[in-house]
Structure 1
Amino acid sequence: MSEKIDVVVIGGGYAGVMAANRLTQRAEVAVTVINPRARFVERIRLHQLVGGTDDAVTEYSEVLAPGVRLMVDAVTGIDAAGRTVTLAGGDTIGYDYLIYAVGSGSAAPRVPGAAEFAYPIASLEEAQRLAPALDATAATATVTVVGAGPTGIETAAELAEQGRAVTLICGDVLGPYLHARGRRAVAKRLTALGVTILEGPDAKVVEVTEDAVRLSGGHALRSAVTIWTAGFGVPDLATRSGLRTDAVGRLLTDETLTSIDDDRIVAAGDSAAPSNLPFRMSCQAAGPLGAHAADTILHRITDRRPDPIDLGFAGQCLSLGRHAGVFQFADKDDAAKWYHLGGRPGAKLKEFVCAHTIKQLATEARKPGTHTWAKGDRRAQLLRDRTDTDAARAAAPIGHG
């Protein structure tokens, strides 16, 4: 091939950068990454930005291959028929293939007052907005963290370690992903740091005001700063562009990560829903999904059949301040196992994971095509089981009365 093949990557996060770097294996592929920020955001360190222990950004020159063009702009629309994307300023960019890697962010809270008075921290700008609000608040004032997934747990621990009075409102259970043993270890560490943990049916937030949080059990808690980490959403770009998505808004794809509407569009990361059976939103999945999305395009331009995605997990890593952490081991299909690594070793492993994630991107930039990942065990079976169930439902007689 002598003509350039233009590939546009929407999103410069973990998945988008991995995909862009991997595409540089072939000289005839011209890669453009479109991202609204000029620096790479280490999203898994945003709780550290809030706590003042890291700025959570890295220069793109450290993680993006030199041959990749970076455009600092936002995509407002995709014209699949015309193979163009529209930018916020009104310009259009053409493509031969498109990688949809827009990531995820805070879900719009449905609780009254949350949008007005609570601080989400799923993006760099949100975390940067929260940090000065905390600085302006007395150290003895209560900070309330709503949501007990990884972001909520890590943020609560980070702030409590600095001497803040922190209440963590779980809504249901602390660390839903964790095994019971891992959950106890996390609770023990948070309690040692002075975090008040509220969980169960009476610990669901029903209203947020400027200085309080009201719970389903009827209690109202004073809160100088309320941090909202409950739930993630994805940008609605695909939906607005007329592409089919799942209920959350992730782009629906087949098992090769190719859009079910257009074989020139491939998805990666948190915004992909292969076979409407998406993987857990995480940087652990983003890198492999980005690499696989690139492989799908590279296969297509060389007239090879793309492979289905095969991705295995190792677990979930949590920092509990700067001096402790927990790594919850899981089987390859992402179900938590009974054992975990905690304490100082857990903290060291968490820091290794954060640093190694950046190193993986940098390595792929220098040596495209080298990134590998663990394979799963049961995805093909899960898909077959679902197909059998759907077929059985379709064949069942319709009841009356």
Structure 2
Amino acid sequence: MAENTDVVVIGGGYAGVMAANRLTRRDDVTVTLINPRPAFVHRVRLHQLVGGSDDAVVDYRDVLADGVRLVVDTVTRIDAAGRRVTSASGGTVGYDYLVYAVGSGSADPGVPGAAEFAHPIATLEEARRLRPVLDAAPATAAVTVVGAGPTGIETAAELAEQGRRVTLVCGGVLGPYLHPRGRRSVAGRLDRLGVTVLDGPGAKVTAVTRDAVRLADGRELPSRVTVWTAGFGVPDLAARSGLSTDALGRLRTDETLTSVDDARIVAAGDSAAPSDLPLRMSCQAAIPLGARAADTVLSRIADERPSPLNQVFAGQCISLGRRDGIFQFAHRHDVALGLHIDGRPGARLKELVCQGIVKHLADEARKPGAYRLHRVSGGAKRRQLLQARRGEAPAPPTTAERAV
């Protein structure tokens, strides 16, 4: 009888669930998923939780393979030498391979008063805490949303559509990822919703108080509720466990997502830093990274050489309330194009994407190995960046790269 292999996956988000499901392809692999929550958090809907149009959770029975053992707990330490993890409850779980998929959360604002008076929404618990605060505030109360990435834009639009008086403080450019054409479309929709958009270098927040937000140019904005969406941070579990991390705390790996310290540890999602060229923190990156991490583990179990990372991006989709949205198309290497779809078609496309995310995970749970998007070529750009970093001469594109 073949020897059984125990794989522990830390983190039950997009990357962790994809990895756990895919690992059940082999009958001789036992998969344990450790996650602090008993339900799957659909993070791309957290702004809807804040606005009251969705609860942003999915039952794990709908997205997790029957063969995956779910442990509701928080890992506090990884013992790489002993191949085991310790949890907050005091228990330990041994492993032959470990998938590190702890995801991301709110970053330290680093702004006086922000930690005390602003409300982050990067996690389910944070979004749930904000709901009663908004409910208690009068409909006419000033609401300030700090940060003009997708989360900030979506939250501002969601609240403004309800009739809230919203100011969006960009701290720079509105929608930094967007092409100028897409940015104009988003700005127009926010204007029609009544959102006041403050951008440019003077619109950086320097302090937050109980009832105001102060900006770098000296302005002080009244703010009954301040929502903080600027930046993401990652848990410090890898660093606390003595593993190599980048400046943000992401686990450093090679191009197969294998830890630079330990061939038995593989990373995926927002908490991975492959070759010190991490991908954009997003669901769009996390799911393929989860599939790639699982394939790396399965290759090592089979004594085969793992395939390197080959990520492709389609763009970025942003909801602008329940009736409007935008899909910003991009090059394969994640640079925005001039092409976008906005208005009601953009909203419908965003909703299809949100539904498709859950479907990808559910399909992989039912038929492990079904997901294949992580094998689509992302082109030669990443390889060129790696070669430039190493001082190597650029290689010609492969047949697959030319074909895409």
CA distance in 1, matches of 2:261, 2:201: 42
TM-score, normalized by length of structure 1?
0.96
2:347 counterpart residue number: 347
1:399 counterpart residue number: none
1:375 correspondence with 2:393:
no
2:27 counterpart residue number: 27
Indicate the larger mover: 374-383 or 123-132: 374-383
1:89 counterpart residue number: 89
1:164 correspondence with 2:164:
yes
1:263 counterpart residue number: 263
1:73 correspondence with 2:94:
no
CA distance in 2, matches of 1:384, 1:316: 27
Q: How does 1:53-202 map to 2 (within 5 A)?
A: 53-202=53-202
What is the percent sequence identity of the aligned residues?
71
Q: What is the RMSD computed on CA atoms of the aligned residues?
A: 0.9
What secondary structure sits across from 1:340 in the alignment? strand
| 1:91 to partner: Cα distance | 1.0
Amino acid at match of 1:161: E
| 1:228 to partner: Cα distance | 0.2
CA distance in 2, matches of 1:132, 1:85: 36
For 1:134-160, what per-residue CA distance to the aligned partner results, in whole angstroms no more than 9, with x for missing partners? Answer: 000000001000000000000000000
CA distance in 1, matches of 2:39, 2:132: 21
Moved over 6 A (4+): none
| 1:25 to partner: Cα distance | 0.4
CA distance in 2, matches of 1:182, 1:329: 9
What secondary structure sits across from 1:350 in the alignment? helix
| 1:181 to partner: Cα distance | 0.3
Amino acid at match of 1:112: P
Amino acid at match of 2:28: E
Amino acid at match of 2:391: D
| 1:329 to partner: Cα distance | 0.3
CA distance in 2, matches of 1:306, 1:3: 21
Amino acid at match of 2:388: D
Q: How does 1:261-340 map to 2 (within 5 A)?
A: 261-340=261-340
| 1:385 to partner: Cα distance | 1.0
What secondary structure sits across from 1:284 in the alignment? helix
2:396 counterpart residue number: none
CA distance in 1, matches of 2:183, 2:93: 48
CA distance in 1, matches of 2:238, 2:130: 29
1:388 counterpart residue number: 391
What secondary structure sits across from 2:391 in the alignment? helix
| 1:2 to partner: Cα distance | 2.2
Amino acid at match of 1:388: G
CA distance in 1, matches of 2:348, 2:188: 18
CA distance in 1, matches of 2:268, 2:202: 38
Amino acid at match of 1:133: V
TM-score, normalized by length of structure 2?
0.96
CA distance in 2, matches of 1:247, 1:299: 30
| 1:381 to partner: Cα distance | 1.2
What secondary structure sits across from 2:306 in the alignment? coil
CA distance in 1, matches of 2:82, 2:39: 30
CA distance in 1, matches of 2:207, 2:15: 35
| 1:349 to partner: Cα distance | 0.3
2:46 counterpart residue number: 46
| 1:245 to partner: Cα distance | 0.4
Amino acid at match of 1:283: C
What secondary structure sits across from 1:322 in the alignment? coil
1:241 correspondence with 2:241:
yes
What secondary structure sits across from 1:167 in the alignment? strand
What secondary structure sits across from 2:40 in the alignment? strand
| 1:389 to partner: Cα distance | 8.0
CA distance in 1, matches of 2:335, 2:109: 28
For 1:46-105, what per-residue CA distance to the aligned partner results, in whole angstroms no more than 9, with x for missing partners? Answer: 000000000000000000000100000000000000000000011111000000000000
| 1:259 to partner: Cα distance | 0.1
| 1:39 to partner: Cα distance | 0.3
What secondary structure sits across from 1:202 in the alignment? helix
